[in-house]
């Protein structure tokens, strides 16, 4: 299919993608994809419920539409999102431990002249045209609803205690109802899709300055680097594309983040190269022998059968060694428990005491014979006077960095005059904190 812009020139995309686990998280729950027809970013939600599986599963479904589309651009986008929803639902049915997992999804399908955008959650899509930056998507978050009502500013939203509460996600449970729209393109446009690890710490001016500089590869690397240097505590994923009226050198699709990491055990060297990895991940494939089995990884341990029959030295004074180890472990446990108790008394959280909202010093955890929390300040405010999602947060305990921070949060709860209603929002009693 040949498509042109308003001037009659055929358009193509040059693209790049990069994902980084960041400086705080242990696992990357972001996934990204860039191809000649499709750009996509998914940010997994769920923590222990494996948000990385949700995001990588969604990307694997979305990337199937990375082909020249027909006339029904938004129909293809919506269908891909619904297939991602269905596949996540199947995984949860197969493994109940995944219950609660979900992912944001922001994708852009290119037809040679337009983008068909599909959006769920708080990952973002931006358009840079003639030096002017435009945010194409609207966050499906609690703080965005407060911004829309004029109750807080964009700057305040960046530090709001509930800034990670999303109202929509692809979770395999709630029917996916994405935002769907098209965007006309012109030669020279640059497109950015990113997770909130980037948009949460870089404002529009900073994003525009980096996005418009250098090649798409340079922009992707600099956006991730700048996000980390700005103090991002989340995974960071950026997908960058430039619209060109000139022929673009063919390049393989790029798969980054959890979607690239999870299948590693089942990828051969050739498959790894075909996926276009542009990071040190490729080194692992090169280190494998050509005839290695498909599930081999460089750090495979010794064959368990070999270890089972390996010669062992005779055992002497076993009971003394065991007793010594137990004494050492008991001493370490006692010292660790004492240190944890001291540390716990430097923390605060908001909970309930005698049916009243109360600030506690300590941690919301029960240990036999030890009281780890003490009421510090009780307010004339009951859970019945608070919105359901806020009351649920208080029952679970809202952590605070200091007593003054806890007092500010309670003041916000007292000043909230009405609840936010959103029929499409994810059940706030479920795990919607973002990873």
Q: What is the DSSP string of 177-241?
A: --EEEEEE--TT-EEEEE-HHHHTTS-HHHHHHHHTSS-HHHHHHHHHHHHHHTT--S-EEEEEE
Task: List Cβ<8 Å contacts ≥24 apart for 262-270.
Answer: 262/52, 262/53, 262/56, 263/56, 264/297, 265/295, 265/296, 265/297, 266/294, 266/295, 267/294, 268/292, 268/294
Give residue for tokens 């059968």: 305
Q: How confident is the model at residue 202 (pLDDT cuts 50, 70, 90)?
A: very high
Write the DSSP assignment of 252-320 as a string of letters: --EEEEHHHHGGGGG--HHHHHHTT--STHHHHHHHS-TT--TT--TTPPPPHHHHHTS--PPP-SHHH
- CA-to-CA distance for 84 and 78, rounded, in angstroms? 10
Q: What is the pLDDT of residue 48?
A: 57
In what side-by-side order are the strands of the sheet with 236-244? 12-20, 236-244, 190-194, 124-129, 132-135
Q: Cα 348 to chain center, whole Å?
A: 27
Q: What is the pLDDT of residue 170?
A: 95
Tokens, residue 362: 């300590």
pLDDT of 222 strictly over 70: yes
Q: What is the pLDDT of residue 373?
A: 82
Q: Does domain 12-266 have CATH number 3.10.105.10?
A: no
For residues 427 and 190, the model is more confident at 190
Q: Which of 164, 49, 31 is nearest to 106 (CA)?
A: 31
> For 161-175, 264-278, 408-422, which range has the lowest pLDDT when averaged over its residues?
264-278
pLDDT of 96 strictly over 50: yes
Q: What is the pLDDT of residue 301?
A: 38
pLDDT of 19 strictly over 50: yes
List, in sequence order, every residue forming a beta bridge with 277; answer none if it has no partner.
none
Q: Which of 11, 95, 13 is nearest to 46 (CA)?
A: 95
- Structural domain boundaries in the chain: 12-266, 312-416
Mean pLDDT along residues 8-22: 89
The pTM score is: 0.61
Q: Cα 251 to chain center, whole Å?
A: 27
Select, from the ranges 61-65, 148-152, 314-318, 404-408, the one with the highest average predicted confidence (pLDDT): 61-65
Cβ pair 248, 202 in contact under 8 A = no
Angle at Cα 207 formed by Cα 206 and Cα 208, nearest 5°?
Answer: 90
């Amino acid at each position: 299919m040949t498509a042109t812009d308003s001037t009659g020139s055929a358009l193509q995309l040059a693209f790049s993608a990069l994902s980084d686990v960041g400086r705080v998280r242990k696992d990357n729950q972001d996934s990204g994809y860039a191809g000649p027809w499709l750009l996509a970013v998914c940010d997994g939600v769920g923590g222990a419920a494996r948000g990385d599986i949700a995001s990588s599963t969604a990307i694997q479904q979305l990337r199937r539409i990375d082909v020249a589309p027909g006339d029904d651009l938004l129909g293809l986008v919506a269908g891909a999102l619904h297939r991602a929803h269905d596949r996540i639902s199947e995984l949860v049915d197969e493994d109940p431990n995944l219950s609660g997992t979900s992912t944001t999804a922001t994708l852009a399908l290119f037809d040679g002249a337009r983008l068909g955008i599909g959006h769920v959650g708080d990952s973002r899509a931006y358009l840079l045209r003639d030096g002017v930056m435009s945010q194409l998507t609207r966050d499906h978050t609690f703080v965005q609803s407060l911004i829309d009502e004029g109750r807080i500013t964009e700057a305040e939203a960046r530090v709001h205690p509930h800034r990670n509460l999303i109202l929509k996600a692809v979770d395999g449970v709630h029917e996916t109802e994405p935002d769907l729209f098209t965007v006309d393109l012109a030669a020279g446009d640059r497109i950015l899709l990113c997770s909130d690890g980037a948009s949460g710490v870089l404002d529009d001016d900073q994003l525009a300055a980096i996005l418009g500089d250098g090649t798409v590869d340079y922009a992707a690397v600099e956006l991730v680097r700048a996000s980390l240097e700005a103090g991002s505590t989340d995974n960071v994923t950026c997908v960058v594309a430039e619209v060109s009226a000139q022929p673009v050198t063919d390049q393989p699709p790029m798969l980054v983040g959890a979607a690239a990491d999870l299948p590693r055990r089942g990828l051969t060297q050739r498959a790894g190269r075909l996926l276009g990895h542009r990071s040190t991940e490729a080194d692992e494939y090169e280190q494998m022998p050509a005839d290695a089995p498909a599930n081999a990884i460089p750090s495979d341990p010794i064959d368990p059968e070999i270890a089972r029959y390996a010669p062992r030295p005779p055992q002497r004074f076993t009971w003394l060694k065991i007793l010594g180890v137990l004494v050492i472990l008991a001493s370490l446990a006692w010292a660790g428990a004492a240190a944890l108790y001291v540390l716990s008394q430097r923390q605060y959280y908001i909970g309930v005491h005698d049916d009243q909202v109360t600030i506690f010093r300590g941690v919301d955890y029960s240990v036999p014979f030890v009281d780890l929390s003490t009421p510090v300040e009780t307010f004339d405010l009951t859970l019945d006077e608070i919105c359901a999602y806020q009351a649920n947060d208080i029952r679970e305990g809202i952590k605070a960095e200091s007593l003054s921070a806890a007092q500010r949060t309670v003041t916000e709860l007292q000043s909230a005059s009405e609840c936010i209603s959103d029929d499409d929002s994810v059940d706030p009693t479920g795990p919607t904190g973002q990873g």
